[in-house]
Chain A
Amino acid sequence: MTATAGPRPARRPGLARRVLDANLPYQLLAFAVFAGVWEVYAREWGGLLIPSFTETVEATAELLGSAELWRAMWVSNQALVLGFGIAVLAGVPAGILLGRFRLAERLADVYLNILLVTPMAAIIPLLVMSVGFGLASRVILVTIFSIVMIVVNSRTGVRQVDPALIEMARSFGASERQVWTRVLLPGALPAIMTGIRLGLGRAVTGMVIVELLMVSTALGGLILEYRGLFKAPLLYGTIVIILAEALLLISAARWCERKLTRWAGSA
């Protein structure tokens, strides 16, 4: 490097600079290191129980070609889609009401706190007792897992809308409905979208946990089966696929969030 002070014309950074400034190279590097350490560790000390990175990749590819996996995905995701859908449809309005009306807040606060702190796995025996095994109880569990995030964030979203904006709207003669549709809901949207994204992550967790602990029919069933048979690469492959699905869903949610609420970053 030469002198850093003094006048210098502004220039577009060179290729090397732009590559170094982007995130992707670092992510690739971190992944390569991770895969390398895994590979070496598994080959040297892994034995039967820890498959190597390459074995896992092969098993993942094999799984992706098998009907068994896709059947399991289909069954598991029914619970995810229905449970998460219900959580959004019920959680967003509930959060908005809690944020806007003190009475609703007072009535519901205790239950919301219980939902926030209770380890969800503890609810499973109760669910099985009252609803039995089957789709209904899996859906309910996914809903319970994800709805808290959605309610809490929606509530925050409505609450953090600047009261000055509501006053402004009223000064221009806005009706109660117009205050809701033109001020409160758009203002709360960023937080609502954050809640939906976080809730989606919890929904995926719920989907897997419910199967591991309750009804081992689908993805959870595969995991238990491969574990029982000491098919370590396939076990790891299944988990990789679940992780990939979760990552994909959350990226999609994040993308929607950015699309819908671009103003929130700059304001």
Chain B
Amino acid sequence: MIQIRGLSKSFVGQDGSVVHALRDVDLDIDENEFLTILGPSGCGKTTLLKAVAGLIPWNDGDILIDGSAVRGPGPERSMVFQNFALLPWATVLDNVGFGLRMRGIGRAERDERARALIEMVGLSGFETKRPGELSGGMQQRVGIARALAVEPRVLLMDEPFGAVDEQTRRLLQEELLSIWERRRMTVVFITHSMEEAVLLGDRVVLMSARPGQIAEIVPVPLPRPRSSDVGAIERSSDYVEVTAYLWDRLRDMHTEHRPSKVAG
């Protein structure tokens, strides 16, 4: 469904040297696939996601969705942000309806659809609250509801659970799985947590830094649906094995980079 071909993006750093945020990235994402992208900070994973979202330009290569080139944001994609990006002056209802409003959908239909999504993410009763009155976990539920409200075929998630505490993160992971199992769509999910990448993904794309490129694509042989018993998944040997493998690979990348850092 999404094809990324030879994608490169570089920029000139503060010291005048050229930084390759992404170099020659090739990636195919299937329809209704849950793809997680894992990598150390600075590996360009967020850059890759923003390019797919159509929010930033790149230097070389193509991104195709159903065969047509990405030139900017589109109605088939929506995004969930790391720091929620909620409008602090707007109520939960208006925040969830924001994407619909941008698409010119009138108040009545907007509110109705927003209410349904608010219920789906478990925030009924909070419609008139403002983001400042909500916990981080609740704010990200609003962010997820807002992204789902526009009924995207591709959901782009940029470390969505990176800014919430561990317990909340686990709850949100389970709920995301459960939502996705009921309502299939293509998900591209950025994370720096190996456990999260394995628990959620059909495949884990492992990226390396400087230059940002794909190191390996690791299939996750865990059964679906997973939301019903996350604990059992986490105790299964496949889960343990894949997580351990990813950790080995990440540690290798780290040691590969250390000498060059000292020399530089």
Where the two chains meet, the residues of A that have a C-beta atom closer than 8 Å to any C-beta of B are 162, 164-165, 167-174, 178, 182-183, 186-187, 189, 261, 263-264, 266-267
Interface residues in B, total, Cβ within 8 A: 26
Given contacts A167-B55, A171-B55, contact A266 B85 (CB under 8 A): no
Given contacts A263-B132, A267-B132, contact A173 B73 (CB under 8 A): yes
Additional A-B contacts beyond A164-B83, A182-B102 (19; CB < 8 A): A164-B81, A168-B85, A171-B78, A172-B73, A172-B99, A172-B103, A173-B74, A173-B103, A182-B101, A186-B87, A186-B90, A187-B87, A187-B88, A263-B88, A263-B130, A264-B88, A264-B89, A266-B130, A266-B133
B87 & A165 in contact (Cβ 8 Å cutoff)? yes
B132 & A266 in contact (Cβ 8 Å cutoff)? yes
A186 & B89 in contact (Cβ 8 Å cutoff)? yes
A189 to B98, CA, bound (A): 19
Chain A nearest CB from B57 CB (Å) reads: 13
Number of A-B contacts (CB under 8 A): 65
A189 to B85, CA, bound (A): 18
Closest to A162 in B: B85
Closest to A265 in B: B132
Cβ-defined partner of A167 (8 Å) among B85, B87, B102: B85
A187 & B89 in contact (Cβ 8 Å cutoff)? yes
B87 & A170 in contact (Cβ 8 Å cutoff)? no
B75 at the interface (CB under 8 A from A): yes
B190 at the interface (CB under 8 A from A): no
Given contacts A167-B55, A174-B102, contact A267 B88 (CB under 8 A): yes
A-B pairs, 3 with minimum CB distance = A267-B132, A168-B85, A267-B88
A173 to B75, CA, bound (A): 7
Q: Which residues of A contact B102 (CB under 8 A)?
A: 169, 172-174, 178, 182
A183 to B101, CA, bound (A): 13
By secondary structure, the A interface counts as helix
Q: Which residues of B contact A183 (CB under 8 A)?
A: 87
29 contacting pairs across A/B (C-beta < 8 A): A164-B85, A165-B87, A167-B55, A167-B81, A168-B79, A168-B85, A170-B73, A171-B53, A172-B98, A172-B103, A173-B73, A173-B99, A173-B102, A174-B102, A182-B98, A183-B87, A186-B87, A186-B89, A186-B90, A187-B87, A261-B89, A263-B89, A264-B88, A266-B132, A266-B133, A267-B88, A267-B89, A267-B131, A267-B132
B250 at the interface (CB under 8 A from A): no
A165 to B86, CA, bound (A): 7
Q: Which residues of A contact B101 (CB under 8 A)?
A: 182
A183 to B88, CA, bound (A): 10
Q: Which residues of A contact B150 (CB under 8 A)?
A: 172
Give the residues from 40 to 96 in chain B that come closer than 8 angstroms, CB to CB, to chain A.
53-55, 73-75, 77-79, 81, 83, 85, 87-90
Q: Which residues of A contact B103 (CB under 8 A)?
A: 172-173
Q: Which residues of B contact A169 (CB under 8 A)?
A: 98, 102
A165 to B95, CA, bound (A): 11
Chain B nearest CB from A184 CB (Å) reads: 11
Residue among A164, A170, A171 with the most chain B CB within 10 A?
Answer: A171
A59 to B183, CA, bound (A): 77
A261 to B90, CA, bound (A): 11
Chain A nearest CB from B184 CB (Å) reads: 22
B73 & A171 in contact (Cβ 8 Å cutoff)? yes
A168 & B78 in contact (Cβ 8 Å cutoff)? no
A168 & B81 in contact (Cβ 8 Å cutoff)? yes
A186 to B102, CA, bound (A): 16
Closest to B133 in A: A266
A30 to B233, CA, bound (A): 68
A49 to B54, CA, bound (A): 74
A90 to B114, CA, bound (A): 39
A178 to B73, CA, bound (A): 15
Q: Which residues of B contact A173 (CB under 8 A)?
A: 73-75, 99, 102-103
Chain B nearest CB from A75 CB (Å) reads: 40
A178 to B99, CA, bound (A): 11
Q: Which residues of A contact B130 (CB under 8 A)?
A: 263, 266-267
Closest to A179 in B: B102
Give the residues from 159 to 188 in chain B that come closer than 8 angstroms, CB to CB, to chain A.
none
